[in-house]
Homo-oligomer: A and B are copies of this chain.
Amino acid sequence: MDLSQLQLFKDIYQTRSISRGASHNGVTQSAASQTVQELEKHLGTQLLDRSRRPLEVLPAGRLFYEFARESLRRHQDFLVHLEELKGGLGGCVKVAAIYSVGISEMSRLEEEFYRRLPTAQLEVSYLRPEKVYQAVLDERVDLGLVSYPETTRDVIALPWREEPMVVVCAPEHPLAQRGHVQPEDLENIDFIGFDEDLPISRDIERFLREQGVRVRVVMQFDNIQSMKEALRLGHAVSILPVPMLREEVADGRLQTVSLDCPLVRPLGIIHRRKKNFLRAAQVFLDLLRDPAA
């Protein structure tokens, strides 16, 4: 019985689904199913009732969940104590993120990380998506933060969060007065897009196409900072992740207009396939995946 099994079962319990638990752990539904069966065989009792559709947790499953939760917590504690004990220059985590994850978000994570491991070192670099993948592959970083993560032969992708996307424009723009718009309101509008080779660009294009809307792409950038500046000129709109806009919206430099049909982009954590993490990386990963604990 190992920690990954406990983590997996914990996620399955919390999401009430084998498939979701599986994807939270970067494994297939099949593997998760087999793991649960192994656990049940080993413990000699059913943990879940899989013959009901919203997966039902049996008493033994609940007990095992408590055990798993507790064990994982103890393990975390142990890692932290170990780090304390090692004193100066604890482990070092290197993280690569796409630009659009945002400095403000990262600085919050950074803060919490140093609270947990005061002696460790966290290095964050911002790169274009393909560079993030490359950095992970080359082991120049331990973890990568990307959008539309995909598991490949050498890299495991874990879902992280889903950012809502909204239409954004300058306060002077005609759309700015409206609280929300239908996709068709964007027909033929001047649009500031992402570079076409970025996943987010493809996803927005696909979204617009599905809605039967065509926009006039007047500019393209590979980073959100530039797009925001261009938007302030007032002639065009764009679609951007909400968290990137907090500051500008707060002081009125830009305005968001929510879309009636929701568009989100999934962010994920990627790392190389390998059994063992350095504990600092492990702690950062746990921090990302469970900010509460």
Q: Which residues of A contact B (CB under 8 A)?
A: 1-3, 38, 41-45, 59-60, 63-64, 67, 70-71, 74-75, 78, 81-82, 85-86, 91, 276-280
Contact = CB atoms under 8 A, between A and B. Distances in A.
Contact of A63 (B3, B64, B78, B91): B78
Given A2-B2, A2-B3, A279-B44, A82 B70 contact: no
A81 B86 CA distance: 36
A132 B252 CA distance: 83
Given A3-B1, A82-B60, A44 B278 contact: yes
Nearest to A84: B63
Copies of this chain held together in the complex: 2
A262 B219 CA distance: 91
Closest 4 CB pairs of A and B: A2-B2, A42-B276, A67-B78, A1-B3
Contacts of A78: 63-64, 67
Contacts of A91: 44
8 contacts: A38-B276, A42-B277, A43-B82, A63-B81, A63-B85, A64-B78, A67-B78, A71-B71
A91 B41 CA distance: 12
A contact face: mostly helix, strand, loop, or mixed: helix
Contacts of A67: 74-75, 78
A168 to B, nearest CB: 44
A276 to B, nearest CB: 4
Nearest to A68: B78
Contacts of A41: 276
Contacts of A2: 1-3
A39 to B, nearest CB: 9
Contacts of A63: 78, 81-82, 85
A280 B42 CA distance: 10
A91 to B, nearest CB: 5
A67 B85 CA distance: 14
A60 B44 CA distance: 36
A83 to B, nearest CB: 9
Contacts of A279: 42-44
Contacts of A81: 63
